[in-house]
């Protein structure tokens, strides 16, 4: 009898391929006889490298092309960095699995000239690269003496720019560096008191056609319950705020017994205004906790901050 086959749609960046190949190997180990292949391609977010992410929008920036492969019947699943996957998925697709989370923290990598420094001690005017408005707003709030510059490209390209002296430091995700075998480039782990991470950061999301029970059964062996509950709360929080991955919205989550604890942040682009709050509730209803936290932040002024940001981004996108 012919072995069963499963096709994975993936971005072709080095980090995406490392993540996707990990999923491939784990599925083949869990299901002897299953043949898993990878269909790699570039997404819009991979192709447009000379424009800040916030200016080209983020609805499906790294996912639309992969989703199209599933709709066309050329792939059964797509592997995403969960932070890149919009909270509202196209009709007919679903988030079938969330894998165990790597360290979701933001970290600092530095040019060798600054190896004796931390963020707080870097000289005034030091150039720090980041493409994330979330990181930008929080770090501007805490370190107004630093100059923040947009940086695009994959992780290795960014590190090459850092080492060439185009930047004095970079803000990156710990999980990405660890998966690429580059944990040695982590100079400083940024505490959540300073920089709350992106929704879903550090976890992989496996998207699939809705209600395909055979595929769901195959991929659910990779599901990690604690990560799933934390990320569902985070994604519900983001969805309720109608934010995307390129908006200054940050989170931190934890599981304590049967309770999910969620901390959230919304900041203005200049970092002058930053509001935070926390909610907790039963882990069997994590999305309710996320929605409650979003409502609390809206009551503190988050809605007005986000509307101003959306207006600014829309105006910049026209130019």
Cα angle 308, 309, 313; round to 5: 120
Closest C-alpha among 23, 45, 43 to residue 34: 23
Task: State the Cα–Cα distance between residues 228 and 180, nearest whole angstrom.
Answer: 23
Q: How far is CA 47 from the centre of its chain?
A: 18
In the DSSP assignment, the letter for residue 255 is E
Strand (E) or helix (H) holding 205: strand 204-209
Task: State the Cα–Cα distance between residues 95 and 84, nearest whole angstrom.
Answer: 13
Residue from 84, 106, 168, 229 carrying the catalytic annotation: 84
Closest C-alpha among 106, 105, 98 to residue 81: 98
Q: Where are the alpha helices (DSSP H) in 167-301?
A: 174-179, 213-219, 225-241, 286-299
Contacts of 213 (CB under 8 A, 6+ apart): none
Task: State the Cα–Cα distance between residues 177 and 175, nearest whole angstrom.
Answer: 6
For residue 270, report the phi and psi dihedrals to the nearest 5 degrees.
-85, -5
Does the annotation count 270 as an active-site position?
A: no
As given in the structure block, the two tokens for residue 250 are 């940050």
Judge contact between 85 and 212, C-beta under 8 A.
no
Judge contact between 20 and 8, C-beta under 8 A.
yes
Task: State the Cα–Cα distance between residues 32 and 116, nearest whole angstrom.
Answer: 50
Task: State the Cα–Cα distance between residues 68 and 156, nearest whole angstrom.
Answer: 28
Judge contact between 40 and 18, C-beta under 8 A.
no
Question: Which residues are known catalytic residues?
Answer: 84
């Amino acid at each position: 009898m012919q072995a069963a086959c499963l096709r994975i749609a993936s971005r072709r960046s080095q980090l995406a391929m490392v993540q996707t190949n990990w999923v491939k190997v784990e599925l083949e180990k869990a299901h002897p006889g299953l043949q898993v292949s990878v269909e790699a391609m570039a997404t819009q977010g991979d192709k447009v490298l000379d424009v800040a992410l916030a200016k080209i929008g983020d609805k499906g920036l790294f996912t639309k092309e992969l989703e199209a492969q599933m709709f066309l019947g050329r792939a059964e699943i797509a592997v995403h960095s969960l932070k890149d996957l919009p909270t509202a998925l196209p009709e007919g697709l679903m988030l079938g699995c969330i894998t165990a989370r790597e360290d979701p923290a933001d970290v600092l990598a530095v040019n060798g000239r600054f190896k004796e420094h931390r963020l707080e001690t870097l000289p005034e005017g030091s150039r720090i690269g980041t493409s994330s408005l979330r990181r930008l707003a929080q770090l501007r709030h805490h370190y107004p003496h630093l100059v923040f510059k947009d940086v695009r490209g994959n992780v290795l390209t960014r590190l090459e720019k850092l080492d060439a002296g185009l930047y004095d430091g970079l803000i990156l995700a710990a999980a990405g560096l660890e998966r690429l075998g580059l944990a040695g480039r982590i100079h400083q782990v940024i505490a959540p008191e300073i920089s709350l991470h992106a929704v879903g950061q550090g976890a992989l999301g496996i998207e699939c056609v809705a209600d395909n029970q055979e595929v769901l059964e195959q991929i659910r062996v990779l599901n990690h319950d604690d990560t799933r509950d934390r990320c569902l709360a985070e994604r519900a929080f983001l969805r309720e705020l109608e934010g995307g991955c390129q908006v200054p919205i940050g989170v931190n989550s934890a599981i304590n017994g049967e309770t999910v604890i969620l901390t959230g942040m919304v900041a203005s682009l200049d970092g002058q205004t930053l509001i935070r709050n926390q909610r907790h509730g039963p882990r069997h209803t994590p999305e309710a906790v996320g929605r409650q936290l979003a409502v609390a932040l809206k009551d503190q002024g988050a809605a007005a901050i986000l509307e101003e940001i959306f207006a600014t981004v829309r105006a910049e996108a026209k130019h």
